[in-house]
Amino acid sequence: MEASAPAAGDGALRVRAEELLRALAGPAAVLREDQWQAIDALVTRRRRVLLVQRTGWGKSAVYFLATALLRGEAGLGPADPGRRIGPTVIVSPLLALIRNQAAAAGRLGIRAGEIHSGNVTEWDEVYAALRAGELDVLLVGPERLNNPTFRDDYLPELAATTGLLVVDEAHCISDWGHDFRPDYRRLRTLIAGLRPQVPVLATTATANQRVVEDVSEQLDAGAGAGPDAGEASGTLVLRGSLDRESLRLAVVALPRAEHRFGWLADRLGELPGSGIVYTLTKAAAEELTAFLRGEGYPVACYHGGTEAAERIAAEEDLLANRVKALVATSALGMGFDKPDLGFVVHVGAPSSPISYYQQIGRAGRAVETAQVVLLPAAEDRDIWRYFTDTSFPPERVVRAVLGVLAGANRPMSTQALLAAVDLGPSRLDQMLKVLDTDGAVRRVKGGWTATGAQWFYDEPRYRRVAAARAAEQQAMLDYIATPGCRMEFLRRQLDDPQAAPCGRCDRCTGHMWPSAVSTSASARAREELMRPGVAIEPRRMWPTGMNRLGISLSGRIPPTAGAESGRVVARLGDIGWGNRLRPMFAAGPAPGSDPGPVDGPGRDAGGESAADDPLPADLVEAVVGTLAHWNWERRPAAVVSIASRSRPLLVSSLAEHIAAIGRLPLLGQLDRVGGGPHAGQVHNSAHRLAGLWEAFAVPPGLHRALGAVDGPILLVDDRVVTGWTMTVAARLLRKAGAPAVLPFALAVDTT
């Protein structure tokens, strides 16, 4: 049976908690009153507790100290599991956070194990140690909760033996939170299945009142009364001031991207210590990293596409101050712990004041002063729109997925479902996770199955969430323009009842960062940003499930039917040429809507598009620069264009300029003989390819001309969205006799 809890209010318990805190945080450490209240509620009263406290406040100390006290004493050897309270399970959203937490546990003598996607081969070993009583803490990534192996083999026993459940970054549970994650919603089921007197701790630094109420309601699921008679059973919310006394907030408005890059080149050395420079897109992070390295700064790049080993190396370099900054996307949001981080600069504004507060909270945790500077950009709103095009799909699409699963009579993989319904991979995956937590589908070995349970499409809620996201974007614009205290503004967005002017930000003090940028720095930045040319790799595999769509294709695309590596002037997510190209591909506004770009970078919604004009003179120069730096194995022998429905004048002009510049014969164009939806109206590869499969034909004159060409064909289009237009066109040209095909376009639709 479990060990009995210490008596409520036991003074010896607080004394021991203070001793453990000093072992964790140093000899001068003293428990905050809310830390003690949380520990006492968890250990003595077995309550469910929600801690809403600023970054660096000491939330992790609460669960490590509670673990040590619940387990008896930290650092004891293996004990009889029947005589001790079970292990603590900590659910953390990011591998970086899990690594930091495991290291912190070790400093206190708490034995921690990890189960996440990065150590699958070690799961059995870790769980064996847990069963043997050799671990005090198990750190788990939320996506594990519905991994079939983990869910079926480990989770039932874990739920039955857990002594304390900790949900870190708990705002992710709530779809009102700025960083909602469907995987986190599965915690509601886990929490409801715990024994009634198992304490639960949820922690976050970024929850407004709506999120607090939502998370509290979920924590209450299955809660029982505490061991004392009459003990309250509801969630105890401990909410403190969100002021960060070390932070010096400022905004510097600069007109163009080269000025923002140049400002950093001039000022990065003046910023204290080492820090983080955030960008909104992976492309911008790579551009800025290359520029700052060219300026002599030791910096590293960090985003969602960075290899895991490179991410770890970059984190370690920043922790050891071997780099001045990590240039990062929001992939470095939660979980990175460097108490002496001296600055955070944003090149481009996040879409929410709440997510902005979280990111700047990485700085100034153990230093007296940390600089926080926002360099907003005109293109920020376009990028916000691009990334918010992930709303829950329409009911007809959801019902179609449920219908396909119900009729399959077997598990279906995500890839197979992509061929059955027109959704992009990430959006389909998110939707399936939500349906899973709603009980309509279930993830099993081999894919997904329908449960047959009745499911309700909560359209009013989805609309309210979308409206909340729009309100957050407007609030971020209001933050940039506010004449009042910036920290007070952020705290009010988080419903901090103690929000008041900070006396430290640029608005409170009147001390502004200089907005002047040296001519030389802005010129070098412009040269870097406006250097054209990005490689695009060809499609190499046909999409899974094409047979379902009536097309007999599978496996690898034969070398004799595929394209070679190609080039574009820029990615539409770039902040150099991307800024120049985005308006050319922006969809037109719907009647009565905001006249700005509605779909963000490169997102053609298939409506009225920007005017179709000949290739502008500045882009002629960019095309020349891209071609000049293309180190092809064989020089093109001729030019062929793809017939365009939306920009025929632009594409024909582009092909003519290339032919004239390279003194190459212009053989003509592939005819468009079929309709098919625009790229922005199709959301996955299988449906996009099916729509294009019979859309083009090689006219007789072009067919004859190809037979006389001895060298690669330069295949010209205005932009690359999915890559399947170029793939289909290249296949046709190869069948007609082209020895090789080199794709070329102005832009590729990536961020």
- The answer, yes or no, to whether residue 521 has pLDDT greater than 90, is yes
Q: What is the pLDDT of residue 555?
A: 86
Tens digits of residue pLDDT in 326-374: 999 988 765 577 889 999 999 999 999 998 998 998 899 889 999 999 9
Average the pLDDT over 627-646 and give the result. Answer: 91
Q: Do 186 and 251 sit in the same domain of this protein?
A: no
Q: Which tens digits make up the pLDDT trace of 90-149?
A: 887 765 566 666 676 776 778 888 887 667 778 788 888 888 888 888 888 777 777 777
Q: Which amino acid is at 624?
A: V
Given this model, what pLDDT does residue 625 score? Answer: 92
Phi-psi region of 533 (alpha: psi -120 to 50; beta: other; left: phi over 0): left
Express each pLDDT in 424-453 by its tens digit: 777 888 889 889 888 899 988 889 999 999
Quick one: pLDDT band at residue 4, thresholds 50, 70, 90? very low
Q: What is the mean pLDDT of residues 10-25?
A: 85
Please tell me the predicted confidence (pLDDT) of residue 264. 97
pLDDT at 153: 76
**Residue 719 domain boundaries:** 534-748
Which has more confidence, 387 or 62? 62
Mind listing the pLDDT tens digit for each residue in 535-571? 888 988 888 778 878 888 888 899 899 999 999 999 8
Domain end call among 207, 239, 271: 239
Cα–Cα distance for residue pair 390/182, rounded to 1 Å: 13
Q: What is the mean pLDDT of residues 59-73?
A: 85
Residue 655 belongs to a domain? yes
Whether residue 82 lies inside any domain: the answer is yes
Q: What is the CATH classification number for the domain harbouring 558? A: 3.40.50
Q: Which residue has the higher pLDDT, 392 or 541?
A: 541
**Residue 292 scores a pLDDT above 90:** yes
Q: Considering the chain, what is the average pLDDT of its residues?
A: 84
Judgement on whether residues 668 and 707 belong to the same structural domain of the protein: yes
Examine the domain organization and report whether 570 and 683 are in the same domain.
yes
pLDDT at 737 over 70: yes
Q: How far apart are CA 63 and CA 529, in angstroms?
A: 47
Reply yes or no on whether the pLDDT at 150 is more than 50. Answer: yes
522 and 549 assigned to the same domain: no
Query: Tens digit of pLDDT for each residue in 126-135?
Result: 888 888 888 8
**Stretch among 4-18, 231-245, 491-505 having the lowest mean pLDDT:** 4-18
For range 288-306, the mean pLDDT = 91
Residue 713's CB is within 10 A of a number of other CB atoms, namely 29
Q: Are residues 577 and 712 in the same domain?
A: yes
Q: Do residues 459 and 470 touch, judged by C-beta distance below 8 A?
A: no
**Per the structure block, which two tokens stand in for 169?**
């970054």
CATH number for 435: 1.10.10.10
Tokens of 386: 């691009």
33 sits in the region (left: phi over 0; alpha: psi -120 to 50; else beta) called: alpha
Domain end marker among 513, 528, 543: 528
Q: What angle do CA 451, 457, 460 make, to 5 degrees?
A: 155
Please give the radius of gyration of the chain, using alpha carbons only, rounded to the nearest integer.
Answer: 28
Question: Quick one: pLDDT band at residue 382, thresholds 50, 70, 90?
Answer: confident
Conformational region of residue 230, where left means phi above 0, alpha means psi within -120 to 50, and beta covers everything else: left
Q: 275 phi and psi, to 5 degrees?
A: -160, -160
Percent of the chain whose pLDDT exceeds 90: 43
What's the pLDDT at 112?
A: 83
The C-alpha atoms of residue 249 and residue 269 are separated, in whole angstroms, by 18
Residue 157, pLDDT score: 78
Q: Are residues 656 and 583 in the same domain?
A: yes
| pLDDT, greater one: 417 or 654 | 654
Q: Identify the pLDDT of residue 351.
A: 92
Instruction: Give φ, ψ of 495 to 5 degrees.
Output: 60, 35
Q: Is residue 164 part of a domain?
A: yes
User: What global pTM score does this model have?
Assistant: 0.79
Burial of 152 (0-12, 13-18, 19+ CB in 10 A): exposed
Same domain, 521 and 547: no
Per-residue pLDDT reduced to its tens digit, 310-331: 888 888 899 999 999 999 998 8
The pLDDT value given to residue 29: 86
**Whether pLDDT at 603 is above 60:** no
Q: How many CB atoms sit inside 10 A of residue 376's CB?
A: 21
CATH of the domain at 507: 3.40.50.300
Token duo for residue 84 = 């001790």
When divided into structural domains, the chain yields a total of 4
Residues 306 and 234 in one domain: no
The burial of 230, by beta-carbon neighbours within 10 Å (0-12 exposed, 13-18 middle, 19 or more buried), is given as exposed
Would the pLDDT of 600 be above 80? Answer: no
pLDDT grade for 744, boundaries at 50, 70 and 90: very high
Whether residues 230 and 353 fall in one domain: no
Kindly state whether residues 509 and 407 are assigned to the same domain: no
Tokens (6 digits) for 556 = 């690898």
The dihedral through the CA atoms of 720, 725, 731, 737 has a sign that is negative
Task: Decide: helix, strand or coil at residue 89.
Answer: strand
On whether both 149 and 290 belong to a single domain, the answer is no
